[in-house]
Every structure is written in structure tokens, then in C-alpha cells.
């Protein structure tokens, strides 16, 4: 683990192993998720990996009906929209991700800020194009 | 800390723009020539373009839209300005707000007395899906885009956060669209210069002509709440909450304050200037404000020595309706959480106490991203000089402000203009 550089490539590599991981700066104690190669408080690069619980809550969201190309390729459309959100993790940082398991037909009534969610992982693409994406599911 | 200011004053003496819209067969150079000619005609006492000492253009992505990178010298050539220094700056939708700022600094430093500012974008050559993808390259390609975000989606985040915190509803956003279309109808340069009510009538006529059932709506709000007429793009942002895909170009002439009187008796002195930056949406402490804009506004008010209540006319960056709501709070016109009430009470209408976006804003006038910031300045120039025709804001408009955002609000540029005669 210690040989992985503290950057986005490693973050997505770890996601592909279904691990949601950030890094803590040993000088400042500040925790970063996504990981960074340098602490922007202490300017130190003395980092260590830390896995998070994956628990968090929705702090802002949208239901996207006009999707970008890569989401259309993943099967989304006006008839099949998706919820994208920012989730604040229990450990402090917040991250952008898709939200699964919510009723998309009436967002105003069905999706609430503050809803507790749990991290999950989505696999898309085949062979070398296969990639793992972070998502969250509503905690029932 | 002491306010850091320019070493000498800078004045705006000319401003011109193309209409904003879609113009097949015209490239950015063609559009810029049109804007340049209108700017020349706007300089009251005339001038010789050979006196221009530098060109700064704002352009988001002719690289991807037109397959032409390195646009500055081509634009300089198109208006016969070579061999002067020609520079292009890029700051997403704040590109020409930044070009203006760089031109101000060029004159303020003493390196030049006469500088031409350009803003240009040609988006409509690409199919709409490709345009969306090009615009999306300004959001975070590592962490936001993989989650499925689009620009309407990022601003929709701010909208849901604002609604949750303060109690605004999607109807608040619809009222902003209605107001901006109301203003745009009076602007001959506007891409969608039609009232929502006019758009309703044209949809009814189109349905009747095709022999389809004619849709009926009780009001503009009723129309905007109709999922068929006004579909969601990224809830709660619907079609009529979004600025359009546009082509357009703008040209501004800046000079050192001490020579302004040889160009015009009605220069606008650029007395306030500020620029800020911020982190991507997921890293922000608050999603109900755009910190970069607050920082830029604080600097602009401090350099100008004025307060929000002194501003008489104002163009804000309403790329999406929620952005206008947040802008009027970030600029200090209304307290956080109270802007939506002001909108519902009609305070921001053209004839109200706090007129916002008399041009129609990005929503109605159009949003050719790299031309937008400079385009806002054209409106303030016309309004403050009493040249806005039927959409003239009443009163003695001695102070004007422009608010230009880049991306999801990761950049913001604010300028304050003063007319002294």
C-alpha cells in the first residue's frame, strides 16, 4: 500500500478494489479524500493511506435528464435519468457521486438533503475500458 | 491590509458587440470584425485604430469548438493590428472578464495607453452533444464528471442546497427567467428576445398548424411548470433555467484616464476591480454562496471606495437562474437567504429598486462563453451613457457593476464603472 502515490490514479485503482480511501497528512493531521500528494496547510508530503467507512449524508443533489456522452453510453437518458450528488462522509471530506436507490420521478418529495447513504461501487465498460465508479446507496 | 490599487486610472471609451445567437457560416474572426466596427462607431470623437498598442482577447475554447487554437494573433490580423502584442486569456465563462482585467493592468502598469479587449466564442458549428462535452471540460474531469455531472447539474446542486437551507422553491428560479426574458425583449442583440408569454403563443400556433391539440396554460408560471413545455435538464434546473448555446463577439476600447477626453466626453472610469478563485463544488464549505464572487466583489468595492447600495445598474452572470439568485446575495445587494424573497417581490426587475440584467442576462441575451464577460460591459456602457433605448434603466446611473463567473464558480471577476459627467 505504501508504494502507491497519493493521487487520483491510486484513488481509482483502490476504487477498483472496492476500497474508498483517502490520505492523512502526518504533519498537519489533515485528512484528504480524494487523496493529494501534498498537504495544502503544512506543504508536507508525508502522507499515509486511510480507509473510510463509506458512511455519509447527501448535502446537495440533482436529477440529470440531459446526460453527458459517457452517461448516455452507460444507458442513461431522459427516460432513464440518474441522481448525482455531493455526499459528506462521516470522516469529514465530501465527494461527488451517483446516488442509487432513490425515486427519481418526484425529486422534490423523494430525495432529501441529510439522507444517510453508504458507499457502493459501479463497474462500467469491458476489458481494458473497464472502470470502477463511486456511488452511494440510501441506507434503509 | 491596505487596499492595493492601480498606479493610474483606466477608462472605457468604446464598446460594441455582435448580436448573440447562432450564425452559420461566420467564424470567430468574422464575428470579431463586426464587434470591432460597432466599437469604432461608438467612440464619440473617433480614433485611429493604429493607436491601439495591445490586444487582449478572452476565448474559452475555439480550440475545441472550431479546431483553432492560438486565436489571439489571428484576431489581431483580422482587424489589422499586427504587429502589436496580441494575447489570449482563458478563464472558462469568465474569459473576457479576465481579458478586461488584463487590459486594465496593461494600462495601469504604464506599458500601454490604448488597449483593445475582445471576447469571442463560436459554439454552434458543433452538434449540441459535443458542445455540452466541450463545456464540461471546464468542470472537474477527475472527480465531478465521472459522477455524471454536467454544468446544469453542478448549478442544480447549488439550487437544491439553497432551497433546503432557505426555503426557496423552483418557482423562484422561474421568476428569474420570466424577468430576464421580459428585459431581453427590449434588446435587439438578444438571442431569445421574446417574453415567455410570446413563446407560449408561438408554441400554441405551432401545435394548431400541425393539427395537434393546442396546449393551454393559465400563466407564464403555469407554462414553466409544465414538464412537456419546460422539461427538466438537471432538476430543479429546467430548460428555461439554462442559458443557450451561442455565438458572439464583443470589442471594448480602454485608454489611460488622462487621455480619455480625446476619445469621448462620456468615458466610464473603471474604479473597481476584483478577481477570486475557489475549489470544486465537492470541496466547498458552503454551496449556497460562490466564495470567489464574494472575494472579487469585496476587492471591487474596496478599490472603488463604494458600497453595494451605491450601484445603480448591474449585469450578473446568470448562466443558470440559480446563479443570478446567488449573485445578488454575493454582491451584497441582499442578505444571504433573502435574495429569493427580493426576486419574488419583483425588486430586481428593470424598473424596480435594484435592476438586475437589464440586457436580458445570459438567459435571454445569450451566452457565447468567451464573449459573455465583455458583453456585460457593453450593457453597462450603454445604460450609464443613457444609450440603452427602450430598455433604459431610469435614474442617474453614475455607478455600474459587472459580475462574471467561470465554470461552477471556481473563478469570478467583478468590475465597477463610474461616469463622472
Return the exposure string of B63-96: e unless at least 16 CB atoms fall within 10 Å of the residue's CB, then b: ebbbebeebbbbbbebbebeeebbebbbbbbbbb
Cα dist. B264→B46, B53, B128, B255, B257 in Å?
8, 19, 42, 11, 11
Give chain A positions within 8 Å (CB) of B235. 62-65, 107
Q: Do B148 and A60 touch (CB under 8 A)?
A: no
Question: Please, which residues bridge with residue A48 across strands?
Answer: A24
Cα dist. A24→A40, A42, B139, B141, B281 in Å?
12, 12, 26, 23, 21
| Stretch (H or E) spanning B141 | none
Return d(Cα B36, Cα B370) in angstroms, integer.
Answer: 16
Tell me the mean pLDDT per 10 residues along chain B, length 421.
92 98 98 98 98 98 97 98 98 98 98 98 94 93 96 98 97 98 98 96 96 96 97 98 98 98 98 98 98 98 98 98 98 98 98 98 98 98 98 98 98 98 78
Q: What is the CB neighbour count within 10 angstroms for residue B380? A: 28
Give me the residue from B136, B145, B161 closest to A59, CB to CB.
Answer: B161
Q: What is the CB neighbour count within 10 angstroms for residue B137? A: 14
Judge if ipTM > 0.85.
yes
What is the length of chain B?
Answer: 421
Q: Do B236 and A107 touch (CB under 8 A)?
A: yes
Q: Do B147 and A97 touch (CB under 8 A)?
A: yes
- Contact with chain A for residue B127, Cβ under 8 A: no
Q: What mean pLDDT do residues A75-81 have?
A: 96
**Eight-state DSSP code of residue A134:** E
Q: What is the pLDDT of residue A40?
A: 97
- Contact with chain A for residue B170, Cβ under 8 A: yes
Query: Could you confirm whether B181 is annotated as catalytic?
Result: no
pLDDT at A2 exceeding the cut of 70: no
Question: For residue B237, what is the nearest residue in chain A, using CA coordinates?
Answer: A62
Asked which of A20-34, A75-89, A102-116, B327-341 is least confident by mean pLDDT, the reply is: A102-116
Question: For residue B144, what is the nearest residue in chain A, using CA coordinates?
Answer: A96
- Contact with chain A for residue B161, Cβ under 8 A: yes
Which among B383, B259, B409 is positioned nearest to B320, based on CA atoms?
Answer: B409
Which among B125, B135, B139 is positioned nearest to B61, based on CA atoms?
Answer: B135
Query: Could you confirm whether B317 is annotated as catalytic?
Result: no
pLDDT at A1 exceeding the cut of 70: no
Question: For residue B239, what is the nearest residue in chain A, using CA coordinates?
Answer: A66
Stretch(es) of chain A classified as CATH 2.40.50: 55-138
- Contact with chain A for residue B136, Cβ under 8 A: yes
Which among B134, B113, B52 is positioned nearest to B86, based on CA atoms?
Answer: B52
Q: What is the pLDDT of residue B421?
A: 78
Beta carbons of B7 and B108 less than 8 angstroms apart = yes
pLDDT digits (tens, 9 = 90+) for A17-42: 999 999 999 999 999 999 999 999 99
Test mutation, B140, B145, B153, B163, chain A, max A CBs within 10 A: B153
Q: How confident is the model at residue A88 (pLDDT cuts 50, 70, 90)?
A: very high
Give chain A positions within 8 Å (CB) of B145. 68, 70
- Contact with chain B for residue A89, Cβ under 8 A: no
Q: What is the signed CA dihedral for B403, B404, B407, B410, rounded to 10 degrees? A: -60
Q: How confident is the model at residue A3 (pLDDT cuts 50, 70, 90)?
A: confident
Write the CATH number of the domain with boundaries A55-138.
2.40.50
CB pairs under 8 A between A and B: 105
Q: Do A68 and B150 touch (CB under 8 A)?
A: yes
DSSP letters, B205-258, are: HHHHHTTPPPP--SSHHHHHT-TTTS-EEEETEEGGGBPPP-EEEEEEEEEEGG
Return d(Cα A76, Cα A67) in angstroms, integer.
Answer: 7
CA atoms within 13 A on the CB side of B413: 23
Amino acid at each position: 500500500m505504501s508504494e502507491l502515490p497519493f493521487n487520483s490514479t491510486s484513488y481509482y485503482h483502490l476504487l477498483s478494489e472496492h476500497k474508498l480511501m483517502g490520505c492523512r497528512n502526518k504533519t498537519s493531521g489533515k485528512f484528504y479524500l480524494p487523496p493529494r500528494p501534498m498537504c495544502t496547510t503544512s506543504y508536507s508530503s508525508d502522507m499515509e493511506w486511510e480507509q473510510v467507512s463509506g458512511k455519509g449524508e447527501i448535502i446537495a443533489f440533482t436529477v440529470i435528464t440531459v446526460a453527458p456522452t459517457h452517461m448516455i453510453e452507460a444507458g442513461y437518458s431522459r427516460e432513464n435519468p440518474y441522481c448525482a450528488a455531493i455526499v459528506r462522509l462521516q470522516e469529514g471530506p465530501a465527494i461527488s457521486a451517483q446516488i442509487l436507490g432513490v425515486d427519481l420521478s418526484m425529486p422534490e418529495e423523494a430525495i432529501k438533503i441529510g439522507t444517510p447513504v453508504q458507499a457502493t461501487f459501479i463497474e462500467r465498460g469491458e476489458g481494458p475500458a473497464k472502470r470502477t465508479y463511486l456511488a452511494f446507496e440510501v441506507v434503509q | 491590509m491596505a487596499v492595493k490599487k492601480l498606479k493610474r486610472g483606466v477608462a472605457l471609451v468604446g464598446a460594441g458587440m455582435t448580436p448573440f445567437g447562432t450564425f452559420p457560416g461566420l467564424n470567430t474572426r468574422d464575428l470579431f470584425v463586426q464587434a470591432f466596427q460597432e466599437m469604432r462607431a461608438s467612440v464619440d470623437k473617433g480614433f485611429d485604430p493604429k493607436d491601439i498598442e495591445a490586444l487582449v482577447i478572452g476565448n474559452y475554447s475555439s480550440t475545441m469548438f472550431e479546431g483553432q487554437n492560438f486565436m489571439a494573433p489571428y484576431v489581431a490580423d483580422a482587424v489589422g493590428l499586427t504587429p502589436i502584442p496580441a494575447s489570449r486569456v482563458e478563464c472558462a465563462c469568465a474569459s473576457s472578464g479576465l481579458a478586461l482585467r488584463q487590459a486594465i493592468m496593461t494600462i495601469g502598469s504604464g506599458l500601454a495607453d490604448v488597449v483593445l479587449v475582445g471576447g469571442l466564442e463560436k459554439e454552434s458549428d458543433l452538434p449540441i452533444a459535443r458542445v455540452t462535452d466541450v463545456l464540461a471540460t471546464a468542470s472537474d474531469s477527475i472527480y465531478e464528471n465521472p459522477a455524471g455531472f454536467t454544468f446544469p447539474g453542478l448549478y442544480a446542486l447549488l439550487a437544491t442546497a439553497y432551497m433546503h437551507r432557505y426555503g426557496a422553491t423552483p418557482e423562484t428560479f422561474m421568476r428569474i427567467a420570466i424577468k430576464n426574458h421580459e428585459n431581453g425583449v427590449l434588446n435587439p442583440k438578444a438571442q431569445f428576445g421574446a417574453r415567455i408569454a410570446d413563446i407560449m403563443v408561438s408554441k400554441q400556433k405551432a401545435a394548431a398548424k400541425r393539427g395537434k391539440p393546442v396546449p393551454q396554460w393559465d400563466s407564464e408560471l403555469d407554462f414553466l411548470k409544465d414538464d412537456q413545455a419546460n422539461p427538466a435538464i438537471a432538476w430543479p434546473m429546467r430548460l428555461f433555467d439554462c442559458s443557450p448555446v451561442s455565438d458572439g463577439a464583443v470589442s471594448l476600447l480602454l485608454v489611460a484616464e488622462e487621455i480619455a477626453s480625446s476619445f469621448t466626453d462620456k468615458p466610464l472610469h473603471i474604479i473597481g476591480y476584483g478577481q477570486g478563485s475557489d475549489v470544486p463544488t465537492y470541496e466547498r464549505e458552503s454551496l449556497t454562496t460562490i466564495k470567489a464572487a464574494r472575494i472579487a466583489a469585496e476587492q471591487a468595492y474596496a478599490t472603488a471606495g463604494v458600497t453595494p447600495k451605491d450601484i445603480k445598474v448591474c449585469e450578473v452572470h446568470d448562466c443558470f437562474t440559480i446563479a443570478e439568485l446567488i449573485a445578488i446575495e454575493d454582491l451584497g445587494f441582499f442578505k444571504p437567504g433573502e435574495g429569493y424573497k427580493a426576486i419574488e417581490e419583483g425588486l430586481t426587475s428593470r424598473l424596480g429598486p435594484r435592476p438586475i440584467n437589464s440586457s436580458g442576462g445570459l438567459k435571454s441575451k445569450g451566452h457565447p462563453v468567451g464573449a459573455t464577460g465583455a458583453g456585460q460591459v457593453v450593457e453597462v456602457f450603454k445604460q450609464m451613457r443613457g444609450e440603452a433605448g427602450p430598455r433604459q434603466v431610469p435614474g442617474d446611473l453614475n455607478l455600474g457593476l459587472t459580475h462574471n463567473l467561470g465554470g461552477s464558480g471556481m473563478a469570478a471577476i467583478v468590475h465597477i464603472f463610474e461616469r463622472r459627467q
